[in-house]
């Protein structure tokens, strides 16, 4: 390669160009990763729920799973950003710095090679000049010798001319000898420099260029590896994100979602009772026999069948035909005819004429609007009386829970202010105790206001629960009367047409009036106020605690009260306390049945 300086120049330039080409490739890959991560984050942001304080959509397990998948996808996008950042720092940035250093080093080596070549060319020119000068002096000496010999042989030439020619010959011979010596010296010098150039200087420069090119190749190999390592480092975290998506998919419980729909739309209304059979043939055939169904004769109770039955059409079900404006729907309160000592009422369905029910239908005022009006959205009242009983009870319970949490915060603030006031009284230099009095008075006022609100809402809740219990008693009583009305049988098994012998079927009194309330409270668990993810596993050996695995998703039903424990519930309904420091809590306000 001693004579391949230009080819090495081109090769090293090609190596730098290839390095920069790979750097450009890495830069474009970084831009792709950044755009991919940005698009993923925009996608997550687009489909993430924008929950407002008034948003009370039930948190179905399918929705929670989708939200968890979005969170995992957001983490996945973050890992793509980590890949782009790692590539930019370890690969692209390193390549650009090394490319700059490589150009500088290559330029220096090539300049040294060119200088060595220029010096060798200079030595060759000096040697060539001395050679040409020596050649010229030799020709002049030969001409002088020929001139001297011609004059010496010429008999006509004078002695002075011969002497002059002889002196000229001697001078040219002397100058030729001097140029010969100079040419020999320059030749020896050039040969030495040329040997040094091709055996010492140029090989050393080429060796440096070779080492530079090998380092470039090694740097490319390291960058290739760093390029792959940037992706490999995030694979465990990406795998966890994908595992989280799979766990979210497995957490979907169709039965729980169905129960949430039932709890969400459960109104508490009772289905209308059956209409009693009226025999209009009793005034025509007055024969009494054991095999004939008849009703007792009652004067003044004759009704118009067309009017009664016609107006009764379309009023049987809340979800059925829309009632006409002049005929309000049947309400449960229109059939209350008796009450129990605990305040519950029950209907009596016996052989009363059907116009009794129809008159109630025509005169009764609807107390509870239909579902259609609720769906359209009516005016929201403070006591939620515009809602069905079951939904009203849940709303009131949620409000009471919120007020209790606010009251607890105010209580904690009051205790803190009292402690601070005591500290100020003991150490006046730390602050004025009187400056805390307005804040303390405001806190006490807020506590009184919250207590009044809680008391008022609890009264409404008690009213609703009392009506629910009464409705249960009425349902039980209506079932008995329904059975009695369907077939009036005598103890011997024969029918009778005597109204006085009918079993009216009064409602059976429950021995424990609060039994239904206790059963209702047991069946209705506490509403979830958020969810959490287990950061560390917990054994839960102690009584009242809940064991959990790392990464498990639980529902939060009670916040940490300052003792370091949070009450949680599994999907299967198992409840218990878990350490607050072991979980990542996400509270969601006004979440209904989360």
Residue 284 · residue 294 · CB < 8 Å: no
* Paired residues of 467 in beta bridges: none
CA dihedral 420, 425, 429, 431 (to 10 degrees): 40
| Stretch(es) of the chain classified as CATH 2.30.30.40 | 528-585
pLDDT above 70: percentage of residues in the chain = 70
| Stretch(es) of the chain classified as CATH 1.20.1270.60 | 2-258
CA quadruple 309, 315, 320, 321: dihedral positive or negative? positive
Return the number of other C-beta atoms located less than 10 Å from residue 234's C-beta.
18
Q: Which CATH number fits domain 528-585: 2.30.30.40, 3.40.50.11540, 3.10.350.10, 3.30.70.330?
A: 2.30.30.40
From CA 6, how far away is CA 114, in angstroms rounded? Answer: 10
- pTM here? 0.48
From CA 351, how far away is CA 357, in angstroms rounded? Answer: 11
DSSP H stretches of helix in 388-514: 389-426, 437-486
Over range 381-408, report the average pLDDT. Answer: 84
Q: Give, as one character, the DSSP assignment of residue 509.
A: P
Return the number of other C-beta atoms located less than 10 Å from residue 227's C-beta.
20
Q: Does residue 70 register a pLDDT over 70?
A: yes
From CA 568, how far away is CA 35, in angstroms rounded? Answer: 39
The most confident of 43-47, 270-274, 340-344, 359-363, by mean pLDDT = 43-47
| Stretch(es) of the chain classified as CATH 1.10.287 | 387-468
What pLDDT sits at residue 421?
Answer: 84
**Bridging pattern class, strands 336-339 and 565-569:** unpaired
Asked: is 387-468 a CATH 1.10.287 domain? The reply is yes
User: What are the structure tokens assigned to 130, written together?
Assistant: 């001395």
pLDDT tens digits along 452-489: 889 889 888 888 787 666 655 555 554 544 444 444 33
Domain at 2-258, CATH homologous superfamily: Arfaptin homology (AH) domain/BAR domain (1.20.1270.60)
pLDDT tens digits along 157-214: 788 888 888 888 899 888 989 999 999 999 999 999 999 988 999 899 999 999 999 9
**C-alpha distance from residue 349 to each of 72, 329, 333, 486, 487 (Å):** 59, 19, 14, 10, 13
pLDDT tens digits along 299-342: 444 434 444 333 333 444 444 444 444 444 444 333 334 444 44
């Amino acid at each position: 390669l001693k004579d391949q300086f230009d080819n090495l120049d081109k090769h090293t330039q090609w190596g730098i160009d290839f390095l920069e080409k790979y750097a450009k490739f890495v830069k474009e890959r970084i831009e792709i990763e950044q755009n991919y991560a940005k698009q993923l984050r925009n996608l997550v942001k687009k489909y993430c729920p924008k929950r407002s304080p008034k948003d009370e959509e039930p948190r179905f397990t399918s929705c929670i799973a989708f939200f968890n998948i979005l969170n995992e996808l957001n983490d996945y996008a973050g890992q793509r950003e980590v890949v782009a950042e790692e590539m930019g720092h370890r690969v692209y940035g390193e390549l650009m710095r090394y490319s700059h250093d490589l150009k500088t080093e290559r330029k220096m080596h090539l300049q040294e090679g060119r200088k060595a070549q220029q010096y060798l060319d200079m030595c060759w020119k000096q040697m060539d000049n001395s050679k040409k000068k020596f050649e010229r002096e030799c020709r002049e000496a030969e001409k002088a010798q020929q001139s001297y010999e011609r004059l010496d042989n010429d008999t006509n030439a004078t002695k002075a001319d011969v002497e002059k020619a002889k002196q000229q010959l001697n001078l040219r011979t002397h100058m030729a000898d001097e140029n010969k010596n100079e040419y020999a010296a320059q030749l020896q010098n050039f040969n030495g420099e040329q040997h040094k150039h091709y055996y010492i200087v140029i090989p050393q420069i080429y060796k440096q260029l070779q080492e530079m090119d090998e380092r470039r190749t090694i740097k490319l190999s390291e960058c290739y590896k760093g390029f792959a390592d940037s992706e490999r480092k995030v694979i465990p975290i990406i795998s966890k994100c994908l595992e989280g998506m799979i766990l979210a998919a497995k957490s979907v419980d169709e039965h729980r979602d169905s129960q949430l729909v039932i709890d969400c739309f459960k109104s508490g209304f009772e289905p209308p009772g059956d209409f009693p059979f009226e025999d209009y043939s009793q005034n025509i055939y007055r024969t009494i026999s054991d095999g004939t169904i008849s009703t007792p004769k009652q004067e003044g109770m004759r009704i118009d069948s067309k009017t009664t039955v016609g107006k009764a059409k379309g009023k049987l079900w809340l979800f059925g035909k829309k009632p006409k404006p002049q005929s309000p729907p049947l309400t449960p309160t229109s059939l209350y005819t008796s009450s129990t000592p605990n305040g519950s009422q029950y209907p009596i369905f016996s052989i009363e004429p059907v116009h009794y029910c129809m008159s109630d239908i025509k005169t009764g005022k609807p107390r509870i609007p239909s579902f259609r009006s609720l769906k359209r959205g009516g005016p929201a009242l403070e006591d939620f009386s515009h809602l069905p009983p079951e939904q009203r009870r849940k709303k009131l319970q949620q409000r009471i829970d919120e007020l209790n949490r606010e009251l607890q915060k105010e209580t904690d603030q009051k205790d803190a202010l009292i402690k601070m006031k005591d500290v100020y009284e003991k150490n006046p230099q730390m602050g004025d105790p009187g400056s805390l009095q307005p804040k303390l008075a405001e806190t006490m006022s807020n506590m009184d206001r919250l207590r009044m609100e809680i008391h008022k809402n609890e009264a409404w809740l008690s009213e609703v629960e009392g009506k629910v219990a009464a409705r249960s008693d009425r349902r039980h009583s209506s079932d008995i009367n329904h059975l009695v009305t369907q077939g009036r049988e005598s103890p011997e098994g024969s029918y009778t047409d005597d109204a006085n012998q009918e079993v009216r079927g009064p409602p059976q009194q429950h021995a424990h009036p609060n039994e239904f309330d206790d059963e209702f409270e047991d069946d209705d668990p506490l509403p979830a106020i958020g969810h959490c993810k287990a950061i560390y596993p917990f054994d839960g050996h102690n009584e009242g605690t809940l064991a959990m695995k790392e990464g498990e998703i639980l529902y939060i039903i009670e916040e940490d009260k300052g003792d370091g424990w949070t009450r949680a519930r599994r999907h299967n309904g198992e409840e218990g306390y878990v350490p607050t420091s072991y979980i990542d809590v996400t509270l969601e306000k006004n979440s209904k049945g989360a």
